[in-house]
Chains A and B, each alone.
Chain A
Amino acid sequence: MTLPSATLVAQSALSGLFIGGLYGLMGLGLGLSWGLLHVINLAHFALAFLAAYLCYQLASVGGMDPFATLALIVPLCFAFGVALQWLLSRFDLSPLNSLLATFGLTAIVEAGIQGVWTADFRKLETPYAALHWQVGTLYVPAAELVTLAAAVGLSFAVYAAMRFTDLGRALRALAEDAPIASAFGIDARRHALVLSGVCGALAGIAGVCLALSFTLTPSQMYAWIGVVFATVMLGGLGSPLGPLAAGIVIGVSEALTSAFVSPSWAPIVSFTLLIALLLARPGRA
């Protein structure tokens, strides 16, 4: 067996970087709500797909620019997140129960999407899909670059917000010790609503990125659960930068396995790596 060329390896790694960015972007909101609100929100995937279908509808049928649809989709998803938290917070739910309640919600949204758009494949055709730049022998596709930029930008924005804004500091305090934080006058309920809204908005942005690069079908939302869960748990719950880093590790390691060995062996490398990392990390329970 001959070694693959440098261009092939670099192009594959780039592809892994892009898909890893998308894993990270999908995982960002999921991990924030899991770590800070103790809600394992499976409906995050459903919301992202709903956003993707809305983007498809507005852009393909309504003739809007795909990026302009964000102006409608983000507030809508924010509202969805707020409403979800409003509903869940009325009940005393363990994280596991939140996973199951949102699993039910996912089925409802999936059925809704199928009811409106049928299960047949939908693809958003945009001029952005064909747009790419050439850097030496490497090709850099625009849509993917935008997704990666969004993932990096949003991850760092969330990181900065958590550190430097009152809202972020309050959220971290609440996650660490809710009773104490409440004693200091932090309104836990309101902050949770805002955070859940932000997570919803992040799902919405991830959905638009999905629509830019992927063909849609309702049941496809389940294809993302495994790898994005892995991304979030590896990156650290509630961590703003962790999912991005973990997503890129998984994406690039799979892409390189595909380049050197075979795509069908790709999952074994990333997931063995993941198990090894978990077993080796000290004391982070």
Chain B
Amino acid sequence: MSLVHRVARGVAALVIFVAAGAFAQGQPPIRIGSTLALTGPLAATSLVHKVVGEIYVEQLNRRGGLLGRPVEWIVRDDQSKPDLARTLYEQLITVDKVDLLMGPYATGAILSAMGVAQRYNKVLVHHTFGIPAQAKYDMQFPAWSLGPTPEVSVPNTVFDALAASPAPPKTIAVVTSKFPSVHFMSLGARDVAKKRGLNEVLFLEWDFGNLDYGPIAARIKDANPDFLWVGAIGLEGNQLLEAMSKIGYTPKEHFYMYPAPGPMSKSALARNALSMTVFEEHPPFTSAPGAKEFIELYHARAAKAGIPDTAVEVQAAASYTAWQILEAGVRGAGSLDDKAIGAWLHTHPVDTIQGKLRFDGPHNYGDDLMRVKQVQDGHWVTVYPAAYAAPGATLRVQ
């Protein structure tokens, strides 16, 4: 970076600082509290949420904060333990007395936080809660836009995409981890596949934490389905792909729910692998207001934080969306009153980088905005439905 650039940046930062100081004069900051699993087994994804939250709060303050007050984000590390998350949310509410809450990461912690929020009548916006039926609190608002019955709607989207492809599958194998948010989707996929007349040639479950994918791969190879549905959280998808490759098997068409996005798109074995998305770095998503700026900032910050894959995809986008929802709610209600924010969000759709989200359906879930994406040439690109597909991209088959 040239000296001129540096000086320019320094001046800009100073101006922002002074401006922030001016509008904040005498105004105590609005404090938003949340926990994230910064250490422990869930730490890989939580880091994404931390980077996004920092970016958003910074942007928010640059825009003048909320209700004319600066915003301060208090994050604590729940160490991937739901019981700790619960206690920390209680601390945030009853001791730190934060004004607003933001959700933690992963199903267990979100449920813990939801219970606390319910007891204190606080609004809870959360990023990635995948089991709508279990979100039983009236003032929780999901940023994960998969509709009230994703176990039906998501598989249908996938099978629609396949049906529209040059080689619609006739047989299906469903293999799935017993990780809760993945497992119920896989069971849903079985039902949907049956209703749509696909012939199930294999169904397998393994425990979360399984180390040997060899036998699973061998059974898939043995069954050789037209379409392989893999319910796999994080690394599991890659491990299964590697195990299949080691016995010389390449699945014909394969779908993963929810993969570790970076490692999968980078893996040569994942050619044509399918998954779900709410946001990718290509039009039409990038034309959403604020999306381009966010992508640029995220690339820089993620690299600085040491995240190997800096592309904005579902986790980062869902995180950003959650902040957008909270901001919209506060602005809409014109106050920090949780009841008012909740009431406003119930009745007003929010424009986010994923699209328009509404919270008037069952369990406050609105439309299923999940699209189908595919690994093509080392990148994830949306391929279905056509309106959201990357320019020129279509579903490829082997």
Binding site for B on A (CB under 8 A): 4-5, 7-8, 11-12, 14-16, 18-19, 111, 114, 117-123, 125, 129-130, 132, 134, 139, 141, 144, 213-215, 217-220, 222-224, 227, 251, 254-256, 258-259, 262-264, 266-267
Contact = CB atoms under 8 A, between A and B. Distances in A.
B207 A123 contact: no
A184 B211 CA distance: 46
Contact of B212 (A111, A123, A134, A254): A254
Closest 7 CB pairs of A and B: A15-B214, A119-B43, A258-B215, A263-B206, A141-B246, A12-B215, A219-B41
A262 B204 contact: yes
Identify the interface centre among A121, A130, A219: most chain B CB within 10 Å of its CB.
Answer: A121
Identify the interface centre among A7, A118, A223, A263: most chain B CB within 10 Å of its CB.
Answer: A263
B340 interface: no
Given A139-B248, A141-B246, A118 B214 contact: no
A194 to B, nearest CB: 32
Contacts of A120: 44, 47, 262, 306-309
Interface string B28-60: 000000000001110110110000000000000
Identify the interface centre among A132, A213, A219: most chain B CB within 10 Å of its CB.
Answer: A219
Contacts of B268: 125, 130
B262 A121 contact: yes
Given A121-B260, A215-B235, 10 more contacts: A5-B222, A12-B214, A120-B44, A121-B235, A122-B308, A125-B266, A215-B260, A258-B206, A263-B204, A264-B206
Given A120-B309, A130-B245, A264-B206, A19 B239 contact: no
Range, interface on chain B: 35 or more
Nearest to B307: A120
A118 B247 contact: no
A125 B265 CA distance: 13
B194 interface: no
B128 to A, nearest CB: 16
Contacts of A224: 211
Nearest to A213: B242
B238 interface: yes
Contact of B218 (A8, A125, A141, A266): A8
B44 A121 contact: yes
Contacts of A15: 212, 214-215, 217-218, 243
A8 B239 contact: no
Contacts of A132: 246-248
A116 B209 CA distance: 24
Interface string B348-362: 000000000000000
Contacts of B196: none
Nearest to B238: A215
Contact of A11 (B80, B214, B263, B308): B214
Contacts of A134: 248
Nearest to B178: A264
Nearest to B247: A139
Given A11-B218, A139-B246, A118 B234 contact: no
A46 B264 CA distance: 26
Contacts of B205: 262-264
Interface of B: 39-41, 43-44, 46-47, 80, 178, 204-207, 209-212, 214-219, 221-222, 234-235, 238-239, 242-243, 245-248, 260, 262-263, 266-268, 305-309
A146 to B, nearest CB: 13
B40 A219 contact: yes
Contacts of B262: 120-121
Contacts of A8: 218-219, 221-222
Contacts of A255: 212, 214-215
A132 B246 CA distance: 7
Contacts of B219: 4, 8, 12, 258-259
Task: Classify the secondary structure of A's interface with B.
Answer: helix
B69 to A, nearest CB: 33
B235 to A, nearest CB: 5
Contacts of B47: 118-120
A144 B239 CA distance: 14
Contacts of A219: 40-41, 43, 80
A8 B221 CA distance: 8
B39 A114 contact: yes
A215 B215 contact: no
Nearest to A217: B44
A226 to B, nearest CB: 9
Contacts of B222: 4-5, 7-8
Contacts of B40: 219
Identify the interface centre among B41, B211, B222, B262: most chain A CB within 10 Å of its CB.
Answer: B211
Given A132-B248, A139-B246, A218 B235 contact: no
Contacts of A119: 39, 43-44, 46-47
B88 to A, nearest CB: 19
Contacts of B307: 118, 120
Nearest to A7: B222
Identify the interface centre among A118, A132, A144, A251: most chain B CB within 10 Å of its CB.
Answer: A118
Contacts of B218: 8, 11-12, 15, 259
A129 B46 CA distance: 29
A198 to B, nearest CB: 26
Contact of A258 (B43, B216, B221, B238): B216
A19 B212 contact: yes
Identify the interface centre among B221, B246, B248, B306: most chain A CB within 10 Å of its CB.
Answer: B246
A266 B204 CA distance: 12
B246 A118 contact: no
A11 to B, nearest CB: 4
A223 B207 CA distance: 12
Nearest to B176: A264
A19 B206 CA distance: 16
A160 B19 CA distance: 75
Nearest to B235: A215
Contacts of B39: 111, 114, 119
Contact of B263 (A12, A121, A139, A267): A121
Nearest to A256: B215
Contacts of B212: 15-16, 19, 251, 254-255, 258, 266
